[in-house]
Amino acid sequence: MQEVQHLPLFIASGLALNLTPGPDVMFIVTQSLRGGFRSGSAAALGISAGCLVHVAAAALGVSALVAASATAFGLLKWVGAAYLAWMGWRMLFAPKNIAGDGNVLANASQIDGQSERSFSVFRRGFLTNALNPKVALFFLAFVPQFIVPGASSPALAFGLLGMVFIGGGLGVCLGYAWLAALAAARFSAVQQAMGWVERTAGALFIALGIRLAFSDNPST
């Protein structure tokens, strides 16, 4: 596409960024360790769907308006921070029920003591990403660098680049899910340590929520 520049560099940079561990990766790995690849892949798909929201919003200019409005950004920031903290609280204190035959973990992540379905994992992954305004700001800062100045359809170019980024990110996330599920299946020590892994992830989610809540607005 003529309105996109340095596409190979964009793809390479996107893959490098997606390989960097963050809250999304922590969520995928935790779900994979507890529920296997099916649960981890549901988390990866939910996170990718959340990215779609940010790409669409940025392409339409909504993210720029949010970034320019201290009130709008602050509201979204506090909602996202509260959700991250809630996720962390559930990881720390939700009932644990790890079941397996010694080779694989059952799909046994729980919310309020009941088995968590793939859609619930998908929804949590989606909200974790979609409610994080920092992701919207990332797309606004990163993607335009690879759009030709004066492009006749910048929104279309932004959308296409966003889809390329999400596609590469989904592949990386599924890779993390597969590796974590494989580790849980092959190594019994991983299963035995799962409680501590999830508690650590929960504490990190709470810390990320607090960090997001007290981060500066882009307009300040």
How would DSSP label each residue in 16-60?
HHHHS--HHHHHHHHHHHHHHHHHHHHHHHHHHHHHHHHHHHHHH
Q: What is the mean pLDDT of residues 55-76?
A: 72
Does pTM surpass 0.85?
Answer: no
pLDDT for residue 191: 56
Of residues 86 and 47, the one with the higher pLDDT is: 47
C-beta separation of 113 from 95 below 8 A: yes
Residue 100 has a pLDDT of 39
R_g (Cα) of the chain, nearest Å: 18
pLDDT one-digit tens code per residue, 149-180: 777 788 888 889 999 999 999 999 999 999 99
d(CA 23, CA 190): 20
